[in-house]
Amino acid sequence: MMKRETKISNIQIKALIVSSIIGVGVLSLPNQLANAMDKDGWIAILLTALLIFPIVLVMIQIFEDNPNKDIFQIGNETFGKPLFTLCLVIYLAYYIAISAYIARSLGELIKAFLLFQTPIGLISFIFILTVAYAAISEIDVIARLAYILYPLTIGFAIILILVALPGSDFTNILPMFQSDLRQLPNGIRNTFFSYAGFEILLFALPYVENKSRKRLVKASIYSIGIVTVIYIALFMLTLTQLSVAQIKADPYPLLMITKLVDLPGYFLQNLDGVIMTIWIMVIFSTMLPMYYSSGKILSKIFNTKSHSIFILILLPIIFLVAFIPDTIVELDTIMPLIINILGTLVLAIIPLALFLVGRIKRRRGRS
Amino acid sequence: MKKKLLIILAISMIFTTGCWDMIEIEDRLLPYTVAIDLSRDGKDNAKRFFICFSYPNINALTEGPSQEDYAFLINANADSIFGAVDQISSRTYNPVFLKHLKVIVLSDQVAQNEQYMREILDGLKRDYIINKMIDLVITRGSAHELLVKKLESSRQHTIEGLFTALLRNKQRSNQFTPMSLKDFIYNMDHKKAAIIPLASGDPEIEIAGGGLFKDYRLIGFIDADENRNISLLNGDANTEDIDFEYNGANISLSLSAIRARKKLVDEENLKIQYQLSVDAQVHQYVIDPDKKLQTTEVFEDIQNKIAKIMVDDFNQTIERLQKEFNADALGILEYLYKFHPKIYKEVEKDWDSIFPYIDIEVDVDVKIRRRGLSDY
């Protein structure tokens, strides 16, 4: 099936990380931050970014320790087949949960803002179908697609900031450093999952063209830095527009801001439609690597050459999981809870274990 | 593979044949103003509000003069705006679409009821469709009659509606300060007080002064001068004209580059000092060889006089806000919250009993920059 060589360039890996991370959570991020730490939520973002770096370094180091192998070979060698298959199942569950959450949130928001009569199931289904079509491709195609959508992800933030600036009051950022620092762990716990998505490195790194450690580290620091800057800028923007009490009460403060745009001359108002349209593409590029990875995982578990058949099998599964929660309240409480539990394993514990066990085994082998 | 793709594409056509949401823009009813009165129905199970929408007649907005009415009114008794939309839908052939709602006019009776205000504003804020920059306006008496008056007004010929045009007017009048839904809620959160522009329809539509709100309840009215003073102190005003008698003749000055700064000068006794710096230009004085504006002494004398007039005026307004209304429309609580968070934490809970007694001092610094083209 695979005749050509799959290769990802360095700039594509940057784009892949940025567009995987910035996704459905960005609309509600200011709300979570304000709930945890009032106006000092940006401290939590900054600290989380600093927490993410070591994990990324560990991921790069795993591939450094095992050159020319992909994650499945490394996992099988380090953990043994049964244990690693369990890990893969956890990854799979995490990806299905997060994809379902994305598809359902998208459906709910599109229905609320743009298509009032269209059935929500259809909106979500068509979205999953579109992602599935792209997810059939190999990782290099996905990286290229991420590279195309990357300017949109950044543009989403820039457009939002530009249109909202005329109505901002910058003194609203004050007072700073007033919150209780004991809330910091809580804030970090909330923001940690806004950075979910960088684990695509595990699947993408073996295919990177230039594997020099320095360049990879640089690329990942750069991309996580961009995400951090965007998150902080959007949080500050929300502060300049709304009172803290309002941010705490609005589930999607950024969408509220699009409704507050009021540039002189009436011609720019009600930008929610425009922003939503861009946002759909932003979360498309978030869900795509996850969908692809879950297809890849299944194909490795069942030892098939191509993963495209599993993409089709996953389609109805994601769709059904997306519609398990009845109401939006259930969706916003249960799904993040499941994603948080699985995410802690997927984002931090399994990669760290993989690294440590690999190191210990190697040391024993040597002695 | 290609055949498979072709089949999938062919099947997908089934899904793309129709659109659930397609409504042409001329088939929508787009209200731009909504007026809310208390219902006059005396029945027991009566609805609470009498709600009136005003929407443009799109046919009459074509080019050239038209014999048709520019706008229509449609009203309903309902418990909420959304209930009213539902009621109306049985009487119109087009669906009502609230996305372009620009102004909401509340009668004083509605505004005096805290619960009603909280409910109406929540509905506006919660809705996915309604713009959150919608302007709030209150009126004494019936809001519905105000809309009827608006229809008769000869100045109705603006597409976006008379109220919006007045509220956004380019001259930036200081007689009223526009208040959007977003700002109102922000003010309620941080200042616990806000001023909504007051509209009246006698003899013609006019917006001047405002209704003072505290904790989502209308507690009183202020006139245009007081509104001007408050917006000057809040730094919202850009230009202002002032007339007074100087040396036996009327002098007319235009004030510009108005900058206001609040400062907490005494932390223990909570003394707030306002510093206003203003540039002035002479508009009109008098043709009289004995009265010329040529020496620095004359300028300084005029500057001092203006400053005194303004300070006296400010003090009256501040006194009224503190003693009569006990409403912090000046945003002193917000200022403390932003710049003196420690003091804020101490005073926030008892602000109602503290605000009337804090010492507010106003300093006005006027500089006459220009005296006009001729000084005859």
Task: Measure the CA dihedral A268/A274/A279/A284, to 10°.
Answer: -160
Query: Is A269 close to B185, i.e. CB distance below 8 A?
Result: no
CA–CA distance, B235 with B362 (Å, rounded to integer): 13
**Mean pLDDT computed over B28-43:** 83
Q: How many CB pairs under 8 A join A and B?
A: 53
A268 in Cβ contact with A163 (< 8 Å): yes
Rounded Cα–Cα distance for residues A283 and A114 (Å)? 17
User: CA-based angle B166:B168:B170, to the nearest 5?
Assistant: 95
Strand, coil or helix: B195: strand
Q: What is the pLDDT of residue A334?
A: 85
pLDDT of residue A100: 92
Is A69 inside any structural domain? yes
Query: Taking a C-beta distance cutoff of 8 angstroms, is the pair B265, B285 a contact?
Result: no
| Domain membership flag for residue A266 | yes
CA distance A260 to chain B (A): 6
For the cut 50, the answer to whether the pLDDT of residue A216 exceeds it is yes
CA distance A176 to chain B (A): 8
**Is the Cβ pair B131, A243 closer than 8 Å?**
no
Q: Among the listed ranges A325-329, B196-200, B315-319, which one has the minimum average pLDDT value?
A: A325-329
Rounded Cα gap, residues A358 and A76, in angstroms: 11
Residues of chain B contacting residue A122, judged by C-beta atoms under 8 Å apart: 15
Residues on chain B touching A242 (C-beta within 8 angstroms): 182, 186
Of residues B62 and A311, which shows the higher confidence score? A311
A228 within 8 A of A46, measured Cβ to Cβ: yes
**Structural domains counted in chain A:** 1
Answer yes or no: are the C-beta atoms of A354 and A62 closer than 8 Å. yes
Residue A245 has which token pair? 């009490």
Residue B342 pLDDT class (50, 70, 90 cuts): confident
Distance from the Cα of A165 to chain B's closest Cα (Å) equals 15
Q: What is the pLDDT of residue A125?
A: 92
- Residues of A in Cβ contact (< 8 Å) with B341: 175, 178
Residues of A in contact with B20 (CB under 8 A): 115, 117-119
Could you tell me the sign of the dihedral formed by the alpha carbons of B255, B259, B265, B271, in that order? positive
Residue A174 has its nearest CB partner, among B100, B133, B338, at B338
Residue in chain B closest to A267 (alpha carbons) equals B160
Structure tokens at A103: 């598809």
What is the per-residue burial (b if ≥16 Cβ within 10 Å, else e) of B61-89? eeeeeeeeebbbbbbbbbebbbbbbebbe
Could you give the CA distance from residue A5 to residue A29 in angstroms, rounded to a whole number?
Answer: 39
What number is the average pLDDT over the span B325-338? 88
Residue B313 pLDDT greater than 80, yes or no: yes
What ipTM score was computed for the predicted complex, to two decimals? Answer: 0.84
Residue A346 placed within a domain = yes
Token readout for A354 is 């993989």
A108: nearest Cα among A280, A224, A267, A228: A280
- Distance, in Å, from the CA atom of B156 to the CA atom of B163, rounded to the nearest integer, reads 9
Say what the alpha-carbon torsion angle B18, B22, B26, B31 is, to the nearest 10 degrees.
Answer: 160
Closest partner CB to B21 (pick from A118, A241, A266): A118
In A, minimum Cα distance to B100 occurs at A270
The pLDDT tens digits of the residues spanning B74-100 come to 888 888 999 888 888 888 888 888 888
Helix-then-strand count for chain B, H and E: 12, 13
By CA distance, what is B159's nearest residue in A? A266
Rounded to an integer, what is the distance from CA B241 to the centroid of its chain? Answer: 20
Q: What is the pLDDT of residue A225?
A: 92
Better-predicted residue by pLDDT, B71 or A53: A53
Residue A65 inside a domain? The answer is yes
- Of A117, A261, A269, which is closest to B21 when you measure between CB atoms? A117
Pairwise CA distance, residues A202 & A99, whole Å: 18
Q: Are B29 and B95 in contact (CB under 8 A)?
A: yes
Please tell me the predicted confidence (pLDDT) of residue B184.
Answer: 92
Tokens of B267: 């932390």
Return the pLDDT at A1: 43
How open is the CA angle B169-B174-B178, to the nearest 5 degrees? 60
pLDDT digits (tens, 9 = 90+) for B109-146: 889 989 999 999 999 999 888 888 888 999 988 888 88
pLDDT, tens digit (0-9, with 9 covering 90-100), for B232-285: 888 887 788 888 888 888 888 888 888 888 888 888 888 888 898 888 888 888
Query: CA-to-CA distance for A135 and A343, rounded, in angstroms?
Result: 21
Record: contact A175-B338, CB cut-off 8 A: yes
pLDDT bucket at B17, cuts 50 / 70 / 90:
low
pTM of the model: 0.88
Predicted confidence at residue A230, as pLDDT, reads 92
**Among the ranges given (A168-177, A319-328, B40-49), the one the predictor scored with the smallest mean pLDDT:** B40-49
CA angle A288, A292, A297 (to 5 degrees): 150
Residues 6+ apart with CB under 8 A from B90: none
Alpha carbon distances (Å) from A286 to A101, A132, A195, A298, B9: 12, 13, 11, 19, 25
Residue B24 has pLDDT above 70, yes or no: yes
pLDDT at position B62 is: 62
* A118 with B20: Cβ contact below 8 A: yes
Contact residues on chain B for A266, CB-CB shorter than 8 A: 160
Structural domain containing residue A68: 10-356
pLDDT number for residue B170 = 58
| Whole-number pLDDT of residue A128 | 93
C-beta separation of A342 from A90 below 8 A: yes
Chain A residues whose beta carbon lies within 8 Å of the beta carbon of residue B100:
270
What is the secondary structure of B265-276 as a DSSP string?
EETTTTEEEEEE
Q: Specify the higher pLDDT residue, B59 or A340.
A: A340
* pLDDT at residue A4 in the model: 60
Contacts of B131 in chain A (CB under 8 A): 259, 269-270
Among the partner-chain residues A114, A116, A256, the one whose CB lies closest to the CB of B132 is A256
The CATH fold assigned to B228-370 is GMP Synthetase; Chain A, domain 3 (3.30.300)
Query: Which chain B residues have a beta carbon less than 8 Å from that of A260?
Result: 132-133, 182
In sequence order, the β-bridge partners of residue A93 are none
Q: How far apart are CA B26 and CA A194, in angstroms?
A: 43
From-to residues of CATH 3.30.300.210 in chain B = 228-370
Q: Tell me, yes or no, whether A76 lies in a domain.
A: yes
Task: Write out the two tokens for B242.
Answer: 């002032």
**Mean predicted confidence (pLDDT) in A94-123:** 89
Predicted local distance difference test score (pLDDT) of residue A267: 60
Find the mean pLDDT for residues A74-99: 88
Which residues of chain A neighbour B185 with C-beta distances below 8 Å? Answer: 243, 246
Share of chain A above pLDDT 90, in %: 15
Beta-bridged to residue B367, according to DSSP, are B279
The DSSP element (H or E) to which B366 belongs, if any, is: strand B359-370
pLDDT higher than threshold 80 for residue A276 = yes
Average pLDDT in chain B = 84
Rg (C-alpha) for chain A, rounded Å, is: 21
* Number of Cβ within a 10 Å radius of residue B247: 14
At A154, the amino acid letter reads I
Residue B60: per-residue pLDDT: 66
- Would the CB atoms of A175 and B339 count as touching at under 8 Å? yes
- Residue A180 has phi, psi (to 5 degrees) of -80, 120
| For residues A199-227, average pLDDT | 86
For residue A256, the domain's CATH number is 1.20.1740.10
On whether the CB atoms of residues A265 and B164 are closer than 8 A, the answer is no
pLDDT digits (tens, 9 = 90+) for A322-346: 988 888 888 888 888 888 888 888 8
Mean pLDDT, range A254-262, rounded to an integer: 84
Does residue A265 surpass a pLDDT of 50? yes
Cβ contact, residue pair A259, B133, below 8 Å: yes
Model pLDDT, residue A2:
47
Q: Is the pLDDT of residue B20 over 60?
A: yes
